[in-house]
Chain A
């Protein structure tokens, strides 16, 4: 069956291919044909240059593996969107009903992200006469997962347009961007349409009731000098209920388990950098523990210092988007540091900045988005110093030999 299907496709493609070549009717749409053609069948191209054999891996497989790793988060995100919807409207519903309701809420967001982002991707490919890049498969999925399920669809469209065009294409396309395109899109919506995006308020769809996220509640409680853990418990956000993921939040971020499954896929296949993930977690936990040593509550001078600093470190790990960000966003190899040592530093600093923004910045309850974007910008500088250190080490090794020779 496979063979017949393959031959049919091959024949059909041969028939229509001339239409897309120079002078053909759809000459301009060649990138679309190419994408479709190489999606169905691997290219027939043979190697040139001096290396005559090649590894079976290509960028399509690498990129799609990230999408596969995101599927647990997407599925949980759908279920949870439905669950929160029924919670918000005060109705009882089973998991299957919640799942279907959630699909109804989430699928349009994903669809709009892929359709609008895909449009820009194809447009740039056609104008620039290059191939359509698989990187978009990841961006198109990552972006909706960072959004609250209540986001209006037009904002999804505007956001992904900004992310793809300004975040990526103006730099020259995949491989040349400085910032992670999905996160750029998220940041754009966050600052341009804060009403829907603060991450503080989760508005249930249709009837407008709202639910607050643990980060929002915690920061507010801390500012009033209350015992943050107690307040969270009271609001139904005990450590294990946050871990369980049936809480309000962005679509992909709530389930720690789904994210860990994704992380395992990325690490086992070698697609995502475990150094960045491990560094990020270490940086976050280390900074969270240091924060615990800061003074809090009433000072002798009568100032009220936030008790938000006192929250146990493991809460930082499971609250908000940190895990989702460090596993899927920070590991984007194009915008991350490129050297192995650089990846450690980059990861650790994302963890550090995340806690700093969360705890010391009254404006943003969540810091991971800002932390990753900030470190995206810093990554080339980290790499620069890592490479300088490498050159110094190289020279020391070489000098050893010149001394040995006298």
Chain B
């Protein structure tokens, strides 16, 4: 069963630095890190200490609230150091690989076997391997709770944000893994599994468009037509009490890999993009999980002060070269830190800096791509202009009232206005276009946290 949707609201940023179609491999030279801190709001109990030997897939930690949910090592080696942050938060476990082939193994399946596997068994493997963390749950975009039964599962195969990896590139050579992962997902829900793809790729004829046992849906239109919230809203919106699970195609491939081989995948594919990356290096890199970014980005960065963003430029996390490739990573965008001050720039008829507002001349240049830096392009102000934000949110959400409600911390009203359907990333374009430089994503995120704490 397929369905087509056309989204009209939104905006594609005409941003330079799109990833090329190049795929390469980077081998890790030194230590590998595991970052327990990337599991937000999850408390972990550490089960190893410095100097311990672990095999590939060896247990490092377990969740305090779910004892069978484990965190495992992607590589065999010695625990070299454990890094703590404030209030002894577990930040990083550094493993020195010892080249050993020793590996923990899990039940392995065939592609077809997965379509008949038992839900309990699959959930058991996912939790035991720690790969359950790749399955996310809405509302709140948290790690899926295995005791909830989702009414449907959404797999996102789109990349409208600047920039995310193209699922059709990721899936090349991983066709069996993708179908294996999708088959496993169909066992986790009584409802449908929705695979959402870009309508531009309808004729691709690859493993995605031909995926079996799932509903393939096509979305057309500007960003955020590729955001999972958009897909959920049009296909199966979240009603009070509903739970849906969401994954990205890259996650499905990794889950498929785990279930087909029975060993913990030790590598992942990440995208490098943005005009802070040398053009010939923009593309897809298969790299061991936990490799330091200094190795991943070796020789790839342009000269000058650059900002490395985990995720995409509209909704991502600023990081630095001292960080590593984390479990969730599927791409990094590098853009220049732009601190240049422009003479009378607030009214100069600029054509070089992109704007979506017709009041800036550059907005009239259709089809031109722009170099984007990190400059804020103005000072923080009170919210003054109204009615501009709704043009960038295809969900049935009124952004102005929702933002004001969130600022007033009125959680009941925020729920009535539809906040549970959203994720902070859905408001990234509102933040982008705001003349008062308001961070709508942060405002919504804070309220979602509050609702989650209070319960609803």
A46 within 8 Å of B by Cβ?
yes
Assuming the A-B contacts A394-B396, A394-B418, are A58 and B341 also in contact, with contact meaning beta carbons closer than 8 angstroms in the complex?
Answer: no
Contacts of B400 in A (CB 8 A): 338-339
- Contact indicator A54/B378 (Cβ below 8 Å): yes
- Contact indicator A44/B339 (Cβ below 8 Å): yes
Question: With the chains together, A41 CA to B343 CA distance in Å?
Answer: 5
- Contact indicator B359/A61 (Cβ below 8 Å): yes
Assuming the A-B contacts A46-B374, A333-B384, are A61 and B316 also in contact, with contact meaning beta carbons closer than 8 angstroms in the complex?
Answer: no
Question: With the chains together, A391 CA to B335 CA distance in Å?
Answer: 40
CB B13 to nearest CB in A, in angstroms, measures 7
A340 within 8 Å of B by Cβ?
yes
Question: With the chains together, A9 CA to B343 CA distance in Å?
Answer: 9
A residues contacting the other copy or chain, number (CB 8 A): 63
CB B274 to nearest CB in A, in angstroms, measures 10
- Contact indicator A51/B441 (Cβ below 8 Å): yes
B89 within 8 Å of A by Cβ?
no
Contacts of B343 in A (CB 8 A): 2, 5-6, 9, 40-41
Which of A39, A390, A398 has a CB less than 8 Å from the CB of B346? A39
Query: Total contacts A to B, CB within 8 angstroms?
Result: 221
Which of B385, B387, B398, B428 has a CB less than 8 Å from the CB of A390? B398
- Contact indicator B359/A271 (Cβ below 8 Å): yes
The 0/1 profile, CB within 8 Å of A marked 1, for residues 350-363 of chain B is 10011111111010
- Contact indicator B356/A55 (Cβ below 8 Å): yes
- Contact indicator B239/A398 (Cβ below 8 Å): yes
A25 within 8 Å of B by Cβ?
no
Question: With the chains together, A273 CA to B435 CA distance in Å?
Answer: 16
B431 within 8 Å of A by Cβ?
yes
Question: With the chains together, A54 CA to B239 CA distance in Å?
Answer: 33
- Contact indicator A43/B237 (Cβ below 8 Å): no
B47 within 8 Å of A by Cβ?
no
- Contact indicator B360/A56 (Cβ below 8 Å): yes
- Contact indicator B433/A55 (Cβ below 8 Å): yes
Interface positions, chain B 271-330, Cβ under 8 Å from A, are 307, 309, 311, 313-318
Contacts of B347 in A (CB 8 A): 60-61, 64
- Contact indicator A55/B354 (Cβ below 8 Å): yes
- Contact indicator B378/A401 (Cβ below 8 Å): no
A10 within 8 Å of B by Cβ?
yes
- Contact indicator A401/B239 (Cβ below 8 Å): yes
Assuming the A-B contacts A46-B337, A56-B350, A270-B358, are A339 and B378 also in contact, with contact meaning beta carbons closer than 8 angstroms in the complex?
Answer: no
Interface positions, chain A 299-353, Cβ under 8 Å from B, are 333-334, 336, 338-340, 343
Q: Determine the residue in chain A with the shortest Cβ distance to B152.
A: A405
Which of B237, B339, B375 has a CB less than 8 Å from the CB of A398? B237
Question: With the chains together, A269 CA to B390 CA distance in Å?
Answer: 17
B439 within 8 Å of A by Cβ?
yes
Contacts of A51 in B (CB 8 A): 313-315, 428, 431-432, 439, 441
Chain B at the A interface: mostly helix, strand, loop or mixed? loop
The 0/1 profile, CB within 8 Å of B marked 1, for residues 270-311 of chain A is 110100000000000000000000000000000000000000
CB A288 to nearest CB in B, in angstroms, measures 28
- Contact indicator A61/B387 (Cβ below 8 Å): no
Contacts of A391 in B (CB 8 A): 416-417
CB A119 to nearest CB in B, in angstroms, measures 21
B212 within 8 Å of A by Cβ?
no
The 0/1 profile, CB within 8 Å of B marked 1, for residues 37-75 of chain A is 011111111111111111111111110110000000000
Which of A46, A176, A390, A402 has a CB less than 8 Å from the CB of B376? A46
Assuming the A-B contacts A10-B341, A50-B428, A394-B396, are A58 and B442 also in contact, with contact meaning beta carbons closer than 8 angstroms in the complex?
Answer: no
Question: With the chains together, A398 CA to B234 CA distance in Å?
Answer: 10
A387 within 8 Å of B by Cβ?
yes
Contacts of A44 in B (CB 8 A): 339-341, 375
B203 within 8 Å of A by Cβ?
no
Contacts of B424 in A (CB 8 A): 50
| Most chain A CB neighbours (cut-off 10 Å) among B355, B376, B416 | B376
Assuming the A-B contacts A46-B339, A131-B379, are A62 and B359 also in contact, with contact meaning beta carbons closer than 8 angstroms in the complex?
Answer: yes
- Contact indicator B339/A56 (Cβ below 8 Å): no
Which of A55, A175, A176, A383 has a CB less than 8 Å from the CB of B377? A55
The 0/1 profile, CB within 8 Å of A marked 1, for residues 414-456 of chain B is 0011100000110010011111110101100000000000000
| Most chain B CB neighbours (cut-off 10 Å) among A44, A52, A387, A401 | A52
Contacts of B439 in A (CB 8 A): 49-51
13 additional contacts (CB under 8 A) given A46-B376, A54-B378, A55-B432:
A51-B314, A51-B439, A52-B307, A52-B316, A53-B372, A54-B431, A57-B357, A59-B379, A134-B381, A173-B382, A271-B385, A334-B384, A338-B401
The list of the 9 closest CB pairs from A to B, nearest first, reads: A175-B382, A58-B378, A42-B345, A41-B341, A269-B359, A56-B353, A338-B386, A56-B355, A60-B346
Give the interface of B toward A (CB within 8 A): 13, 15, 151, 162, 236-237, 239, 307, 309, 311, 313-318, 333, 335, 337-347, 350, 353-360, 362, 372-379, 381-388, 390, 396, 398, 400-401, 416-418, 424-425, 428, 431-437, 439, 441-442
